[in-house]
Chains A and B, each alone.
Chain A
Amino acid sequence: MSDIGSRPALLDAAGLGKRYGGIVANDGIDIRLDQGQALGVIGPNGAGKSTLVGLLGGAIAPSEGTIRFEGQDITTWPACERARRGIGRTYQIPRPFLDMTVAENLAVGQFSISPFISAGSAQAERRQILERCGLRDAAEMKAKDLPLLRRKRLELARALALKPKLLLLDEVGAGLIDSEVTELIALIRSLQDGTRAIIIIEHVIRIVKECCADLMVINFGKVLTKGRTADVLASDEVGAVYLGTSHGRAGRPPQAATPAAAPKAPTPTTPLLTLERVSAGYGQARVLHDLSLSAIPGQVVGILGTNGAGKTTLAHVISRALPVTAGKIRFDGDDITDWPAHAVAARGIAHCMEGRRIFASLSVEENLLVAARDVGAADRKRRLERVYGLFPILAERRNAGGTSMSGGQQQALAIGRALMAKPRLVIFDEISLGLAPVMMDRLYEALAALKREGLTMLVVEQDVERALDIADIAHIINKGRITLSGPAATVRNDERLRHLYFGTEE
């Protein structure tokens, strides 16, 4: 596709900008893509990457600039016309048609674009796409019954059903473990057959590295740098604003425990939290089997495992958002197995849920105060200040709408909200999901500070290295059972961990 000039580029966006009042989300962005090309876009949370997807996909009207697609000016076209013309996008936070089956979700695009496609070929296409995206077994399931990561796959599948010429992928790799990332890369590569162009917005650097020849870095809504992927990733500037400490850590072998993770002097204390042979599940599907674990005060327990292993289910069971079918849960001497969630929260367990769950209609400060309603004014102020001390950005944006902030800031808010209840145990569920490496660093620094203060934590995490850096002990969950436990340092060097994460495990 080097014959630029003889034929209009597939996509030619020039001087693209978006302002919300005084806030500049995107400014002067130029993108030119030909068929067969793949462009990676990286940048810190809040840099304006999702806005860019919105501008190209038609969900957001640009304040300035023009977009040409196959030579035609589509700047003012609504989203549906762009989709019909061949631009498919995914949402960073999945938005499937919840009350419809997975297959129907795909059929929407098919039927809207070619209403008279034969039922047989439509079905064959759907089956092929679902197969490709690893959703074949879920075809007849309602989208609302899919967990978060499978919904992300559905986003991709739904976009593919459009047979797009330009595919916009907004963080489809977030939350995947290494072996799943490998699968995703293979899938994206299989889409690069020269007939379409792909723009990949991603925090998982491996994906852009292996799929995109060109890379663009956005910061504060502007293009910071642009060029061949390898050159861009090697630049110091990019390292500073985006990659943070994980810069160059990709090939790092499993290492000895960092000082922070050194096991504490074994003080035999009574555990704060104990799970005894707990089983739980959803409806007829049992997810956790006979699971036992405990946490002593001040300990950080890491929960690791692949997607679908039952980590989030475990978190929900402990915070009593999900009933157990067998077993006992004790907290601080009390049997809390049958307690309702609010009573458990009042007793001192806070749950920082996967997906943040920020109240959109409340401001940042109100989001925080919700968790400390029954507290005296003085105490409430003290707690607020503590959270603001931990995350100064929240103090700065205290009157902003809860969901108006970037992903990283929202995650900080979710953590802050969990702390506002002054809990004795906090469950952190996938706090690094969808965050820029530099933002993850900041959140984990905050967690380390909390650890120094002696807070007991349960850290459910996809990012093994980060979890093991902070945890005292770690449990690996596989298919609802603990398959490996021990001090973080021991687990880190255990072969079984690597097998599990690289997908070589039976």
Chain B
Amino acid sequence: MTATLSSPGRPGTTSLDRRAIAGAAAGGLAFGLLMLAPALLSTYFVEIGFKLLLYIVLAEAWNLLAGYGGLVSLGTSSFFGLGAYVTAGLLNQSGMGLPLALGVSALAGMTIALFMSRGLFRLRGLYFTVGTLALAEALRLLVVNVPWFGGASGLFVTVDLPDTPELFRFAAGLLALATAVMTLATGSRFSVLLRAVRDDEDAASQVGVRAFRIKLAAFLAASALVAMAGGLQAAKLGAIEPYGSFGMQWSIDPLAIVIIGGLGMRLGAVIGGAFFVAIGELLADYPELHVAITGVVLILLIRFAPRGLCGLAQALIKRRSAPGATREAGA
């Protein structure tokens, strides 16, 4: 469960510390490469790369909620849209720079999450999912119907925006932040509590876990990440409008990515994101085919590899590494 990066069941052993250092080094190297990438890649790949990074961040956040916390959310688009609107509004009205605007967007996302948590966490399982869906719809309808944010047609960002390579670096920074959050949330003692709440909230309470706080912490972290991703997308497009910024695809795509990559697997978002974006690009000229193929892939994975591509790889590695151990256990 703890997947590839942390040793299962023994949080805090010395081998883990060594692993943490190795992981941090690898992460730092990857981040450095990402920061250099826009200078080396063609415009096309920078565009795709930006999209990929954004999707991975969304998927990481969704995986934190659903894979590790058992909170299956269809409300990603509400925080994504919120981030987009807050960022665009601040850029237009206050004259603050993009980094600061993104930070405020994150705070806005967390505020809404905090505000909604009282009601949402009363709902469990599928009811929670429906609750988040309702939140997303409600926010979108609000934005469409009140006149302040340009109504149904949206707004343009009127200030000068960073170019795509620059935004790519922003996205890389955001991914680094998401990775740090995920590493903390999935490799620490917090992760033990979070997964306990996921597996059985009542039983977790009976061993002293304050389930509400644990869920809230995960919800706040995920909402902040998603809101910042929404802000970046607004900066990329230079415009916001309710059907795009609050669009259902921002809720559905991360879900598809994580299920393809591996729900509750540490590398699920990265692998799934790469797969999802690659298919999208390869089939960009056949949009219907793209949707159909993604659907078929999802069906096949859910049927034959419920733990996604990462789970599949893990099972294969396990089978290969332990062929001789047969027959002993039962004797």
CB distance from B216 to the nearest CB of A (A): 14
CB distance from A316 to the nearest CB of B (A): 15
- Most A CB atoms within 10 A — which of B9, B205, B207, B322? B207
Given the interface contacts A95-B202, A284-B325, A285-B330, does A162 sit within 8 Å of B208 by beta carbon? Answer: yes
The contact string, 1 if C-beta is below 8 Å from chain A, for chain B 172-212, is 00000000000000000100110110111011111111110
Q: How far is the CA of A111 from the CA of B188 in the complex (A)?
A: 10
Residues of B within 8 A of A122 (CB): 12
Interface hits, A66-104 → B, CB 8 Å: 78-81, 83-84, 88-89, 91, 95-104
The contact string, 1 if C-beta is below 8 Å from chain A, for chain B 223-262, is 0000000000000000000000000000000000000000
- Find out whether the CB atom of B9 lies under 8 angstroms from the CB atom of A104: yes
- Find out whether the CB atom of A108 lies under 8 angstroms from the CB atom of B9: no
- Find out whether the CB atom of A111 lies under 8 angstroms from the CB atom of B195: no
- Find out whether the CB atom of B202 lies under 8 angstroms from the CB atom of A79: yes
Given the interface contacts A103-B10, A108-B192, A285-B330, does A159 sit within 8 Å of B202 by beta carbon? Answer: no
Q: How far is the CA of A158 from the CA of B329 in the complex (A)?
A: 26
Given the interface contacts A119-B12, A480-B330, does A107 sit within 8 Å of B192 by beta carbon? Answer: yes
Q: How far is the CA of A340 from the CA of B276 in the complex (A)?
A: 37
Tell me, yes or no, whether A466 is within 8 Å of chain B by CB.
no
Tell me, yes or no, whether B287 is within 8 Å of chain A by CB.
no
- Find out whether the CB atom of A98 lies under 8 angstroms from the CB atom of B199: yes
Tell me, yes or no, whether B8 is within 8 Å of chain A by CB.
yes
CB distance from B13 to the nearest CB of A (A): 7
Given the interface contacts A111-B192, A119-B12, does A59 sit within 8 Å of B206 by beta carbon? Answer: yes
Main secondary structure of the interface of B (DSSP, over half): loop
Q: How far is the CA of A119 from the CA of B331 in the complex (A)?
A: 35
Residues of B within 8 A of A286 (CB): 327, 329-331
CB distance from B121 to the nearest CB of A (A): 13
Tell me, yes or no, whether A46 is within 8 Å of chain B by CB.
no
Residues of B within 8 A of A89 (CB): 206
- Find out whether the CB atom of A97 lies under 8 angstroms from the CB atom of B208: no
Interface hits, B312-328 → A, CB 8 Å: 322, 325-328
- Find out whether the CB atom of B203 lies under 8 angstroms from the CB atom of A95: yes
CB distance from A334 to the nearest CB of B (A): 28
- Find out whether the CB atom of A97 lies under 8 angstroms from the CB atom of B203: yes
CB distance from B12 to the nearest CB of A (A): 3
Residues of A within 8 A of B325 (CB): 284
CB distance from A150 to the nearest CB of B (A): 14
Residues of B within 8 A of A105 (CB): 196
Tell me, yes or no, whether B1 is within 8 Å of chain A by CB.
yes
Nearest-neighbor residue (CB-CB) of B329 within chain A: A285
Tell me, yes or no, whether A420 is within 8 Å of chain B by CB.
no
- Find out whether the CB atom of A83 lies under 8 angstroms from the CB atom of B330: no
Residues of A within 8 A of B264 (CB): 99
Given the interface contacts A79-B206, A84-B208, does A284 sit within 8 Å of B326 by beta carbon? Answer: yes
CB distance from A291 to the nearest CB of B (A): 12
Q: How far is the CA of A103 from the CA of B8 in the complex (A)?
A: 9
Q: How far is the CA of A281 from the CA of B211 in the complex (A)?
A: 38
Q: What's the tally of chain A residues with a CB closer than 8 Å to chain B?
A: 48
Residues of B within 8 A of A112 (CB): 193, 204, 207-210
Q: How far is the CA of A57 from the CA of B203 in the complex (A)?
A: 11
The contact string, 1 if C-beta is below 8 Å from chain B, for chain A 272-290, is 0000000001001111010
The contact string, 1 if C-beta is below 8 Å from chain A, for chain B 10-35, is 11110000000000000000000000
CB distance from A313 to the nearest CB of B (A): 10
One of A84, A113, A140 near B9 (C-beta < 8 A):
A140
Nearest-neighbor residue (CB-CB) of B202 within chain A: A59
Residues of B within 8 A of A192 (CB): none
- Find out whether the CB atom of A161 lies under 8 angstroms from the CB atom of B207: yes
Residues of B within 8 A of A99 (CB): 1, 195, 198-199, 264
Tell me, yes or no, whether A356 is within 8 Å of chain B by CB.
no
- Find out whether the CB atom of A101 lies under 8 angstroms from the CB atom of B9: yes
Q: How far is the CA of A281 from the CA of B329 in the complex (A)?
A: 10
Tell me, yes or no, whether A402 is within 8 Å of chain B by CB.
no
The contact string, 1 if C-beta is below 8 Å from chain A, for chain B 285-326, is 000000000000000000000000000000000000010011
CB distance from A290 to the nearest CB of B (A): 12
- Find out whether the CB atom of A108 lies under 8 angstroms from the CB atom of B200: no
Tell me, yes or no, whether A442 is within 8 Å of chain B by CB.
no
Q: How far is the CA of A115 from the CA of B213 in the complex (A)?
A: 14
Residues of A within 8 A of B327 (CB): 284, 286
Residues of B within 8 A of A9 (CB): none
Residues of B within 8 A of A97 (CB): 195-196, 199-200, 203-204
CB distance from A426 to the nearest CB of B (A): 27
CB distance from A107 to the nearest CB of B (A): 5
- Find out whether the CB atom of B207 lies under 8 angstroms from the CB atom of A158: yes
Residues of B within 8 A of A79 (CB): 202, 205-206
Q: How far is the CA of A42 from the CA of B102 in the complex (A)?
A: 61
Residues of B within 8 A of A347 (CB): none
Q: How far is the CA of A59 from the CA of B189 in the complex (A)?
A: 24
Residues of A within 8 A of B206 (CB): 57-59, 79-80, 83, 88-89, 91
Tell me, yes or no, whether A109 is within 8 Å of chain B by CB.
yes
CB distance from B193 to the nearest CB of A (A): 6
- Find out whether the CB atom of B330 lies under 8 angstroms from the CB atom of A281: yes
Residues of B within 8 A of A287 (CB): 330
- Find out whether the CB atom of B200 lies under 8 angstroms from the CB atom of A95: yes
CB distance from B329 to the nearest CB of A (A): 4
- Find out whether the CB atom of B11 lies under 8 angstroms from the CB atom of A107: yes
Residues of B within 8 A of A285 (CB): 329-330
Q: Apart from A104-B192, A112-B208, A284-B322, list 16 A-B contacts with CB within 8 A.
A: A59-B205, A78-B205, A88-B206, A99-B198, A99-B199, A103-B9, A104-B8, A104-B9, A107-B11, A108-B193, A108-B207, A109-B207, A112-B207, A119-B11, A123-B10, A158-B207
Q: Which chain A residues have a beta carbon within 8 Å of chain B's beta carbons?
A: 57-59, 78-81, 83-84, 88-89, 91, 95-105, 107-109, 111-113, 115, 119, 122-123, 139-140, 142, 158-159, 161-162, 281, 284-287, 289, 479-480
**Interchain residue pairs with CB less than 8 A apart (27):** A57-B206, A79-B206, A80-B204, A80-B211, A83-B206, A83-B208, A88-B206, A89-B206, A91-B206, A95-B200, A96-B200, A97-B203, A99-B199, A100-B195, A102-B9, A104-B8, A104-B195, A107-B11, A107-B192, A109-B208, A112-B193, A115-B189, A284-B325, A284-B329, A284-B330, A285-B330, A286-B331
Q: Which chain B residues have a beta carbon within 8 Å of chain A's beta carbons?
A: 1, 8-13, 189, 192-193, 195-196, 198-200, 202-211, 264, 322, 325-331
Q: List the 9 shortest-distance A-B pairs measured between CB atoms, nearest first.
A: A119-B12, A286-B330, A285-B329, A83-B208, A97-B199, A109-B207, A101-B9, A79-B205, A103-B9
